[in-house]
A and B are shown apart, each in its own frame.
Chain A
Amino acid sequence: MRDLLSYLFKRFIWMILTLLAVYTVSFVLMRAVPGNPFSGERNVPPAIERQLKARYNLDAPPIQQYFDYLGGIVTDFDLGWCMGLEDYSVNQVLAEGFPVSATLAIFALVFAIILGVTAGVISAVYRRSPADVALMAAAVLGIAIPNFVLASLAILLFVFTIQIFPAGGWGTLQQIALPAFCLGLPVAAYIARLSRAGMLETLSKDHVRTAFAKGLPKRTVILRHVLPGAMLPVVSYLGPAVARVLTGSLVLEKIFALPGLGSHFINAATQRDYTLAMGMVLTYTVLLFVMNTLVDISYAIIDPRVKLQ
């Protein structure tokens, strides 16, 4: 337990340092990019532009802006008001968008893990059988077809040909099904490939041979002895994948008209909404760190040889 706590503490320190570095680099980059949140087709008079800048503290010297904003974040997690979506603060945007993205991500991941692991196990156990070939071909296809093509085809099929799902929007379980499927399918394909490779690797290990030699039933050997070892690559893939899925997918959100977080990031960047973009970047960093930490801990739990360091 002690090593776990000290590990967590160390990770936390690293996260703070990384956040600080990411904050600094993003801050500089955003200001280096041409344009500002208030540039529009119509030029506003200089006096008014100055008022606007003052409203968001953009008239201060950059160094002061840097520390003022950082201070707000550190002292009360206040990421400030959005410069594009004026009526909202960044915290409100995150609070409204995150549950949507999280809901979608949960369904997509559960779907992906169940489908991917099952497919991977089946094709590893029945290696070189037609089932293996078919499943792996499907997995390659899942990776090969870009998300947006898949989504468009799925809409044509499930919304119009077989009319079982609504075309878009957010609010009912039916509306989640299609986007979760489209978001989860490539992940499922990756998991299938990874778990198949992991299974094959573990199946050739000595302890598995011993278990078979002992006369244990095939099911028991596979579930008890092979699967845990085979999951290691899957787990390490899942960490960043979860973070990515959680922050949403720009394309799918657009195609299915979902109010998730994904589009905020690109919109914030193109509208030069400095505060919102910063909020998104920092959220992503935290998510990524948390997920990677969870991966490391799971590693230590699954594989007795791995030590947390």
Chain B
Amino acid sequence: MTEDTHDETLKQETLERILRESREIRGVSLWQDAWNRLKRNRTAMISLVCLLLLGLLAFLTPLLPLQSPIDKDLNNRRFLAPNLDTVVMGSRPGLKFEGGTLTGELEKFRASIAELEAERLSTEDPERRQELQQTIDARINVEHPFNQMWNELGPLSWWMCQLRVRLFGDYAIPSLFGTDKLGRDLLARVFWGARVSLIVGIVATLVSLIIGVSYGAIAGYFGGTVDSVMMRIVDMLYSIPFIFVVIFLVTFLGEDSVKARLDAMGIDQITIFYIVIGAIYWLTMSRVVRGQVLSLRTEQFIEAARTVGASPARIVFRHLVPNVLGVVIVYLTLTIPSVMLFEAFLSFLGLGVAPPDVSWGLLLNDGVEALSIIDVYWWVVVFPGGSLAATLFALNFLGDGIRDALDPRMKNRD
């Protein structure tokens, strides 16, 4: 009897020890492991930092002391080469700003609002008060000097712009990148363009990623008839003239009734734009994924998962998809820049950013147009092109790094 209980306790202890140990080992997941390896890859880390910095700068653009991206000084500042001459915000005579400065005009505007405010506070008549309040709101909405310098700022950007004026006053960085054909500062436009292009690139690519990976993985996993039918559908979609699809969507969605209904659902043009790009780019993605999955699905770990009774959905998304991520990420790093350029082409059809907003694709298009033998305005091409190329470089090295880091065969190398 005692022998037995002793034995039992021993077994119990061993079991607990094993459990304890196994708990400790579980700490290193696939992602953790990959991250550790990525950290050792210096180029990838530099790229990652650069990209994060770019994202941060793009996000903080309204806060930076840049010139106005939309204010065109046609009379004096067309096609200025990069220079270090100081620029005062709001000094263009056409703006008719008080004292020729943004702060001056802001002061004046604030004073006039304050006057109205005082009047509102002094009146007793509630109706009159209400009326004055409305006037104040309308005036802030319509006549605020910011409207002349920036287009349609969101609440956050508006706040950042205000902070910027408080921090830097009328100071603006000189036109380090030169100016374009309508006299706008290229540095500011590259920054504001980055906001649009980065979001478009990332969101549209994510859409294509989600559709493409699920579709490709499902086709690859099930194989056989399912696979060939699904892939034939992709073949067909490849040939559908997307230009007609886009023109159709632009006009269909431009109709007032449709527009109103979509607005009610909170879908604006830019959302549709992401969906359109994603819907066009998922095709190649799904092919890539399907090819990989096809070769993976006979591997032992999938067999193992199947034996323990994992559902197909679990196998596909839990076991197969992480294993094809390496290829997918490399492909992604190539898709993001081409999406950024594709955006410019869609603008040609009327879908995408509309002036005065700007994107890198539009900047490049404009730049190439100004590239002629008579006068070489090199800066209008070099800076937007350089930004795009640099982003792609970083994405590319990061992509390679991630692929290597995710590749289990690379685990014990180096």
Contacts and interface: CB of A to CB of B under 8 A. Distances in A.
A100 interface: no
Interface residues of A, number: 39
B392 A18 contact: no
A65 interface: no
Contact of A21 (B236, B376, B409): B236
Contacts of A204: 409
B368 to A, nearest CB: 5
Nearest to A32: B248
Contacts of B247: 33, 269
Given A146-B341, A156-B371, A265 B244 contact: no
Interface in B230-251: 232, 235-236, 238-241, 243-245, 247-248, 251
Q: Is the interface of A mostly helix, strand, loop or mixed?
A: helix
B243 A149 contact: no
Nearest to A133: B43
A287 to B, nearest CB: 9
Contact of A156 (B236, B373, B409): B373
Contacts, number: 91
A33 B341 contact: no
A25 B239 CA distance: 10
B232 A33 contact: no
Given A140-B392, A149-B364, A29 B376 contact: no
From B341, B365, B396, name the one whose CB has the most chain A CB atoms within 10 angstroms.
B396
B251 A33 contact: yes
B353 interface: no
A201 B341 CA distance: 32
B337 interface: yes
A177 interface: no
Interface in A2-17: 14, 17
B381 interface: yes
Contacts of B373: 156, 160
A148 B368 contact: yes
B337 A289 contact: no
B385 A29 contact: no
B236 A269 contact: no
Contacts of A289: 235
Interface in B331-387: 334, 337, 341, 364-365, 367-368, 371, 373, 376, 381, 385
Interface in A144-199: 144-146, 148-149, 152-153, 156, 160
A79 to B, nearest CB: 15
Interface string B387-414: 0110011001000000000000100000
A144 B241 contact: no
Contact of A29 (B244, B365, B367): B244
A240 to B, nearest CB: 8
Nearest to A18: B236
Interface string B244-265: 1101100110000000000000
A234 interface: no
A20 to B, nearest CB: 10
A266 B243 contact: yes
B239 A285 contact: yes
Contacts of A25: 236, 240
B104 interface: no
Given A143-B392, A152-B381, A292 B235 contact: yes
B241 A265 contact: yes
Nearest to A287: B239
A143 B334 contact: yes
14 contacts: A18-B239, A22-B239, A25-B236, A26-B240, A140-B393, A140-B396, A146-B341, A148-B365, A156-B371, A240-B238, A269-B241, A281-B239, A288-B239, A292-B235
Interface of A: 14, 17-18, 21-22, 25-26, 29-30, 32-34, 137, 140-141, 143-146, 148-149, 152-153, 156, 160, 204, 236, 240, 265-266, 269, 277, 280-281, 284-285, 288-289, 292
Counting from the closest, the 9 A-B pairs by CB-CB distance are: A285-B239, A144-B392, A144-B389, A29-B244, A269-B243, A152-B371, A22-B239, A34-B251, A18-B236
